[in-house]
Amino acid sequence: MSDFLNFSLEGKVALVTGASYGIGYAIASAYAKSGAKIVFCDIKQEFVDKGLASYEADGIDAKGYVCDVTNEEMVQDMVKKIEAEVGVIDILVNNAGIIKRIPMCDMTADEFRQVIDVDLNAPFIVAKAVIPSMIKKGHGKIINICSMMSELGRETVSAYAAAKGGLKMLTRNICAEYGADNIQCNGIGPGYIATPQTAPLREKQADGSRHPFDQFICGRTPAGRWLQAEELTGPAVFLASDASNAVNGHILYVDGGILAYIGKQP
């Protein structure tokens, strides 16, 4: 089969940041099932250990590293260790992220900076750490996990939207700067996914009714439901494989149709 129809990740080394659970875990697991060697990081050893146990339970041989992706020295050390212990990173997924849902005028500058640090500065730091070896190897794939908030705003998520909007443009700029080195940098923009990050938006109310936001999002999604992290894995494998070598600087929205829909009529 020609490379251009090749969805396999056989023999590739994939680093997924923040992949002990949630979206990162789903993507890393799919990469393993597509033949890749998985390495992931999390900020605490206890979460790395929990992630390793989950991967093992799923029959996946993963390697975990403790690394705060906002810390450039830790990231550089981690990438050197991965290159020595596993191999040069062929695929990077900048997945680690946080959100703070606070009305903008109630948010401190430090809280704003914390979100920008993890959701925008860290993808820059990790990409900068892996690109030199990708250039030497002659290829690389970088996938940044963007968001509906790369395109839309909503109350209480100013820092997150600013970060994810910036991540969309960082994605395009890495494409522009390193496309000639056969590095493809694309984004995935998930819709609303049922993970720990969105659990507060789905919590049952005291009277047992659905959370208002839960009802709102189902009305804004043509699919009429929250999406599952596993529904991102096909697009993620595509963007990590040779099948997408001519796709660069693109944000692939996997949102159940949210961005195409004005919302269910009342």
| Residues annotated catalytic, as ranges | 160
Interacting span for ligand NAP (CB under 6 A) from 95-103, 207-215, 217-225, 258-266: 95-103
Asked if 235 and 254 touch (Cβ cutoff 8 Å), the reply is yes
Helix ranges, the chain (H): 22-33, 45-57, 72-85, 109-116, 122-137, 158-178, 212-220, 233-240
Report the partner that residue 22 touches, choosing among ligand GCO, ligand NAP, none (CB closer than 5 to 8 A by kind): ligand NAP
Under rule CB under 6 A, which residues in 181-210 are in contact with ligand NAP? Answer: 190, 192-193, 195-198
- Residue 40 contacts ligand NAP per CB under 6 A: no
254 beta partners: 190
31 close to 9: Cβ distance less than 8 angstroms = yes
The one-character DSSP state at 144 is E
Q: Classify residue 241 by its DSSP letter.
A: S
Contact status: 218 vs ligand NAP (CB under 6 A): no
Partner whose binding site includes residue 154, from ligand NAP, ligand GCO, none (CB under 5 to 8 Å by kind): ligand GCO
Distance between CA atoms of residues 48 and 44, nearest Å: 6
Give the 3-state secondary structure of residue 38. strand
Q: How far is the CB of 3 from ligand GCO (least distance, A)?
A: 32
* Shortest distance (Å) from residue 146 CB to ligand GCO: 8
Q: How far is the CB of 108 from ligand GCO (least distance, A)?
A: 19
- Reduce the secondary structure of 40-80 to three states and give it as a string: EEECCHHHHHHHHHHHHHCCCCEEEEECCCCCHHHHHHHHH
Window 121 to 180, contacts with ligand NAP (CB under 6 A) = 145, 147
Residue 194: CB minimum distance to ligand NAP, A: 7
Nearest distance from C-beta of residue 46 to ligand GCO, angstroms = 24
Under a CB-based contact definition with an 8 Å cutoff, are residues 104 and 28 in contact? no
Picked from ligand GCO, ligand NAP, none, the partner binding residue 29 (CB below 5 to 8 A depending on kind) is none
Residue 97 interacts with which of ligand NAP, ligand GCO, none, CB < 5 to 8 Å by class:
ligand NAP
Binding status of residue 96 toward ligand NAP by CB under 6 A: yes
CA distance 257 to 231: 13
Q: Which is nearer to ligand GCO, 149 or 251 (CB)?
A: 149
Q: Which residues contact 18 (CB under 8 A, 6 or more apart)?
A: 24, 40, 41, 42, 43, 69, 95, 96, 97
- Chain positions contacting ligand NAP, by CB under 6 A: 17-18, 20-24, 41-44, 47, 68-70, 95-98, 118, 145, 147, 190, 192-193, 195-198
